[in-house]
């Protein structure tokens, strides 16, 4: 490393450490203010409180490192530009790319460390922080529910909810774990989770229970309910407490999320096979690549058959059928139609869950790679503004980081909803940031 590179790295290191300390402290104090109510009146030991704050420090560091790198880079090169050091280096024949190169290498090194931190340290600390928060909040154990993810801690059932506020949730779907003989699906508009003594109580409102015999699809039962209650012994839940499957995406390493994705794909294959069996038994053609259009068209075929039976008293090939056969056919078609709808909804939920895992996998790398891009963007930005003050550097850096983070969340949400490819949705902010960095680089290179 030559003298110039050593000087530039040294000039960047101290502002980075100072910025990291200040931003981490600010974010930590904001979190502490929001979390203080959780400790009041709990009679907690001081060490428990300190442990909780320490565990939550992980996600704060993961957020503050890229922001600190951007601020320190703008500050360093802004000061050098203001003191005419950049002008002197250009006059000595040093190119802008050579001036910026040490900052990019430093950003890449910090990004590599952050990538390892995000994959090996952050998931475990997030996981233990949530477990500790659960113990602080509640005197008795409860279900670990994350909206948009399958909950597998309920004996004999898998559950997924769209939204949750406290112990109340909306749009809940409960599926019986595949036993090979019977499939039970429960839908409810609203629900509430409470605990009493040694049981967990799920109170559901305004929903339906669908039961079908997987060996004979004619045996189908639908039950509408205003209220429905499911009781779960806490002991049964405690058996699953140490199971890795209880972890959410932000509490898993990349390898663990890949395993979950593969497991969900296996479940999707099982459901696909059941759908194909139904279609075969009813003489409905299907393609190898079974998709939503195939299922919807199959349902339309069943509806047309039902219409023909009802109006013309015939079935396909204009074969007359009796009143009893009409009723049996209609009942069978309705049951099969509901079953196809339920099965495809199950596949869609598995796909959305896999998308969430894929987004989180990419995010562990995109945030780390953003460190290199922030250095690539911050250096020419500092040269252009010619101001090294903390106010200017902080304002510009925070503005850049907020725009980046908003795009990151926006891409993540679109990918979670299956509206955007998870890879593109996760890397889109970095692509835009790279383009902005190139534009700033060319502008700073042309500056006298």
Taking only the tens place, the pLDDT of each residue in 208-259 is 988 877 776 667 788 889 898 888 765 555 434 444 446 888 889 999 999 9
Residues in the chain: 448
Give which of 70, 29, 12 is closest to 401, Cα–Cα. 70
- Locus of tokens 């979950």: 260
Tell me: pLDDT of 5 over 90: no
Q: Which of the 8 DSSP states describes residue 10?
A: H
Question: For 207, how many CA atoms within 13 A lie in the half-sphere containing its CB?
Answer: 20
User: Which tens digits make up the pLDDT trace of 366-414?
Assistant: 989 999 999 999 999 888 876 545 677 677 788 888 889 899 889 888 8
Task: Write a three-state SS string for 39-54.
Answer: HCCCCCCHHHHHHHHH
Domain layout of the chain by residue ranges: 3-139+360-446, 157-240, 256-354
Tell me: pLDDT of 321 over 70: no
Sign of the torsion angle spanned by Cα atoms 218, 295, 152, 149: negative
Return the bridge partners of 162, or none: none
Output the DSSP codes for 314-328: EETTTEE--HHHHHH
Give which of 267, 275, 271, 270 is closest to 354, Cα–Cα. 267
Q: What is the phi/psi pair of residue 386, to 5°?
A: 55, 30
Give which of 162, 197, 214, 163 is closest to 343, Cα–Cα. 214
Most confident of 14-28, 32-46, 71-85: 14-28
Give me 294's structure tokens: 């195939």
Cα separation, 437 vs 433, in Å, equals 6
Q: Give the model's pLDDT for residue 275.
A: 81
Cα separation, 398 vs 402, in Å, equals 6
Query: 23 vs 281, which has greater pLDDT?
Result: 23
CB distance 136 to 120 below 8 Å: no
Q: Which of the 8 DSSP states describes residue 246?
A: G
CB distance 69 to 16 below 8 Å: yes
Q: Give the model's pLDDT for residue 435.
A: 94
Query: 194 vs 359, which has greater pLDDT?
Result: 359
Cα separation, 126 vs 279, in Å, equals 45
Tell me: pLDDT of 7 over 80: yes
Q: Give the model's pLDDT for residue 239.
A: 39
Give me 150's structure tokens: 């399958």
pLDDT-derived band of residue 113, with 50, 70 and 90 as boundaries? very high
Cα separation, 32 vs 353, in Å, equals 31
Q: Give the model's pLDDT for residue 139.
A: 43
Tell me: pLDDT of 170 over 90: no
Sign of the torsion angle spanned by Cα atoms 399, 401, 405, 411: positive
pTM for the structure as a whole: 0.71
Tell me: pLDDT of 83 over 80: yes
Q: Give the model's pLDDT for residue 448.
A: 57
Q: What is the phi/psi pair of residue 419, to 5°?
A: -95, -10
Give me 439's structure tokens: 């534009």
Q: Give the model's pLDDT for residue 66.
A: 92
């Amino acid at each position: 490393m030559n003298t110039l590179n050593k000087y530039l790295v040294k000039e960047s290191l101290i502002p980075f450490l100072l910025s990291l300390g200040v931003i981490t402290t600010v974010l930590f104090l904001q979190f502490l203010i929001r979390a203080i109510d959780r400790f009041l009146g709990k009679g907690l030991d001081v060490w428990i409180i300190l442990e909780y704050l320490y565990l939550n420090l992980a996600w704060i560091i993961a957020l503050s490192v890229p922001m600190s790198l951007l601020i320190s880079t703008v500050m360093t090169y802004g000061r050098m530009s203001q003191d005419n050091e950049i002008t002197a280096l250009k006059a000595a024949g040093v190119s802008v790319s050579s001036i910026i190169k040490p900052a990019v290498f430093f950003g890449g090194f910090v990004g590599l460390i952050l990538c390892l931190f995000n994959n090996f340290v952050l998931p475990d600390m997030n996981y233990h922080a949530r477990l500790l928060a659960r113990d602080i909040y509640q005197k008795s154990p409860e279900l670990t529910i994350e909206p948009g993810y399958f909950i597998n801690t309920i004996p004999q059932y898998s559950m997924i909810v769209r939204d949750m506020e406290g112990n109340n949730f909306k749009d809940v779907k409960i599926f019986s774990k595949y036993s090979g003989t019977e499939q039970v699906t429960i839908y409810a508009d609203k629900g509430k989770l409470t605990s009493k003594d040694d049981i967990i109580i799920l109170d559901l409102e305004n929903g339906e229970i669908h039961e079908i015999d997987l060996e004979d699809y004619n045996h189908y039962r639908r039950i509408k309910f205003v209220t429905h209650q499911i009781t779960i012994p806490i002991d049964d839940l405690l058996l699953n407490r140490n199971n890795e499957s209880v972890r959410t995406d932000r509490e898993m390493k990349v390898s663990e999320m890949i395993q979950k994705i593969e497991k969900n794909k296996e479940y999707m294959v099982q459901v696909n096979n059941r759908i194909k069996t139904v279609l075969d038994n009813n003489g409905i053609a299907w393609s190898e690549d079974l998709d939503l259009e195939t299922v919807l068209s199959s349902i339309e075929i069943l509806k047309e058959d039902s219409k023909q039976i009802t109006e013309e008293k015939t079935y396909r090939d204009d074969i007359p059928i009796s009143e009893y056969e009409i009723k049996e056919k209609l009942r069978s078609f309705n049951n099969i139609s509901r079953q196809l709808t339920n099965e495809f909804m199950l596949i869609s939920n598995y796909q959305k869950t896999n998308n969430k895992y894929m987004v989180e996998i990419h995010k562990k790398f995109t945030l780390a790679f953003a460190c290199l891009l922030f250095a690539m963007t911050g250096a020419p930005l500092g040269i252009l503004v010619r101001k090294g003050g903390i106010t200017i550097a902080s304002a510009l850096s925070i503005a850049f980081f907020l725009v980046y983070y908003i795009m990151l969340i926006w891409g993540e949400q679109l990918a979670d909803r299956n509206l955007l490819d998870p890879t593109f949705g996760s890397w889109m902010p970095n692509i835009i940031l790279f383009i902005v960095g190139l534009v700033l680089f060319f502008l700073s290179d042309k500056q006298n």
